[in-house]
Amino acid sequence: MNLSPLPSAVPPASPAVVELERAAVAMLRQIADHEPLRPGEFVQVLAVQASHVTRQVQRLGRSGHLTRVADADDPRVLRMRLTPLGEEAVARLGDAGARGVRPALAHWSPDELRSIAALVRRLVDVFLTHPADEGQALHEGTTPPAP
């Protein structure tokens, strides 16, 4: 996904210049939703190894997307916070997603849009109530799709 500050000569609708890895995008979104986070919390939320989180935090710090701040309760603990550049990147991610979905749904009726919205909400609820490590939990209590 391309995200970076826009040079003044590039119009705002143009794609950004610097590429961010998927892992960096996931981390930026998590920080935006739950900031400030400790690196150890990323390990749990993103289900990745600590060394992976450390590398991403370092890269995002060097690129100016996040900064480390001391925890209010324990100054020895560092938390990750988005910088204005990181906030802009997250906003661009949302805009890019909306631009990609809007044309795909342009010809759907209002009833179809309401139906898909209800189904997506239901799917999100399932993901939120059944941890990934429960394996088959997503299949319990649901009707399998017709072949």
pLDDT 10s digits, 17-52: 346 777 788 888 888 888 788 888 877 777 778 888
Please give the pLDDT value at position 84.
94
- Report the candidate in 34, 64, 60 with the shortest Cα–Cα distance to residue 46: 34
Q: What is the mean predicted confidence (pLDDT) over 1-9?
A: 37
Q: What residue numbers bound the domain in which 70 lies?
A: 1-105
Q: Are residues 50 and 82 in the same domain?
A: yes
**Angle, to 10 degrees, between the axis of helix 84-105 and the axis of helix 22-34?**
100
Q: How confident is the model at residue 5 (pLDDT cuts 50, 70, 90)?
A: very low
Q: Are residues 41 and 84 in the same domain?
A: yes
Q: Are residues 113 and 96 in the same domain?
A: no
**pLDDT over 90 at 83, yes or no:** yes
Domain count, the chain: 2
Q: Are residues 16 and 53 in the same domain?
A: yes
- The listed range with the strongest mean pLDDT (85-89, 93-97, 131-135) is 85-89
How many CB atoms neighbour CB 100 within 10 A?
Answer: 9
CATH of the domain at 56: 1.10.10.10
Q: Are residues 32 and 98 in the same domain?
A: yes
Q: Are residues 93 and 127 in the same domain?
A: no
Q: Are residues 45 and 17 in the same domain?
A: yes
Q: Are residues 101 and 112 in the same domain?
A: no
Rounded to whole angstroms, the Cα distance separating 146 from 129 reads 24
Secondary structure percentages of the chain, helix, strand, coil, to 5: 55, 10, 35
